[in-house]
Amino acid sequence: MQVFVAGGTGVLGHPTVRALVAAGHRVRATARGTEKADRVLRFGAEPVDVELYDGDAIGRAIAGSDAVLRLTTKIPQTLMKMRSAAAWRETNRLRTVGARVLVDAASAEHVPIYIHESVVFAYADGGDRWLGEDAPIDDGGTEILRSALQGETHAARFSAAGGRGIVLRFGAFYGPDVPSTIETIAMARRRMLPRIGLGTNYMSSIFVPDAASAVVAALEAPAGIYNVSDDHPVTFADYLRLLTEAVRAPRPWHVPAILGPILAGVAWNYLGRSQRVSNARLKAVSRWTPVMKDVADGWPFVASRLAVTVT
């Protein structure tokens, strides 16, 4: 396939470009500036410098593509910045306006496939129940999730116009070259990553290379929404325990749940939920399966790759 990747140098974009090339696809990927363009070239793809909100320019860039992938985000690079709603403004715009521009252009150019990056955090609290793609959703009163869900409607609009629109709802990213992972480990070692409340709420994660392979697998999937998470979500208490054991960090502090909004900011509206997300639907329609089945395997691997040692 000829695949166009919007967001080809981001946390998810760059491993996806590599995975697409490795799978034999011809790839064009957005890259602003010489440094990012060189990175895309090293992956074996063609860099494209294009304004993502310019519909005419996007139309020219995607002409002849068999699939368009929207992996564009500008997520805050530090956990502290993620606490602020304002820090998500550009990501919200990319998820909504950017998605609209891409879908309009893809429909006009008769591109058959559109894949849209979204998040599992939009699911309502499910307790210890498994959450499939038809589980209730809730934006938590946040613009962050409201824009994520609004963005998904463009994939549905693409399908309604005769294309194959695919939404991938990703769990929390982690990996050895993910900036938020590196900061999370640093905070854990400084005992600045507390367990908030009982910690019985489930977290659904995904190792970034597994997320990338899911994007490649989704090219063959029917239109619809698919969760991309590991096989065994764990509670927040176990997540912290596995993390701190892997990186040899001290046991985290325990603070009452009432402090969640103070410590996590607007993100607490969804991070405090229990989301035990199932990836069964994508596995049923594709050959995808995550290499890292859960963070019990993933955190020790990340620690070994980062050569974490006690100081």
What pLDDT, in 10s, does the model give residues 54-74? 999 999 999 999 999 999 976
pTM of the model: 0.94
Please state, as a whole number, how many other Cβ atoms lie within 10 Å of the Cβ of residue 226: 26
How large is the average pLDDT for residues 4-27? 96
Binned at pLDDT 50, 70 and 90, residue 309 comes out as very low
> Percent of the chain having pLDDT more than 90?
84
Burial status of residue 136 (CB atoms within 10 A of its CB: 0-12, 13-18, 19 or more): exposed
CA 60 to mean position of chain CA atoms: 27
DSSP 263: H
pLDDT of residue 1: 96
How large is the average pLDDT for residues 131-149? 94
Please, are residues 15 and 208 in contact by the beta-carbon 8 Å criterion?
yes
Binned at pLDDT 50, 70 and 90, residue 237 comes out as very high
Using alpha carbons only, what angle is made at residue 142 by residues 140 and 145, rounded to the nearest 5 degrees?
Answer: 80
CA 127 to mean position of chain CA atoms: 22
pLDDT of residue 85: 60
The Cα 20–Cα 163 span in angstroms is 21
Does 232 have pLDDT greater than 90? yes
Closest CA to 245 of 235, 237, 254: 237
Name all domains of the chain by residue range, CATH numbers in brackets: 2-306 (3.40.50.720)
197: left (phi over 0), alpha (psi -120 to 50) or beta: left
Does 205 have pLDDT greater than 50? yes
pLDDT of residue 83: 55
Torsion of the alpha carbons at 235, 241, 246 and 251, rounded to the nearest 10: 160
Binned at pLDDT 50, 70 and 90, residue 51 comes out as very high
The Cα 128–Cα 276 span in angstroms is 7
Relative to beta strand 113-119, strand 26-30 is unpaired
Lowest-pLDDT range of 112-116, 117-121, 268-272: 268-272
How large is the average pLDDT for residues 81-103? 80
How large is the average pLDDT for residues 159-176? 97
Please, are residues 65 and 7 in contact by the beta-carbon 8 Å criterion?
no
258-303 pLDDT per residue, tens:
999 888 888 888 889 999 999 999 999 999 999 999 999 999 999 9
Does 78 have pLDDT greater than 70? no
Closest CA to 142 of 115, 171, 119: 119
In this structure, what are the phi and psi dihedrals at residue 305, rounded to the nearest 5 degrees? Answer: -70, -35
Lowest-pLDDT range of 101-105, 119-123, 177-181, 277-281: 177-181
The Cα 104–Cα 49 span in angstroms is 19
How large is the average pLDDT for residues 130-152? 95
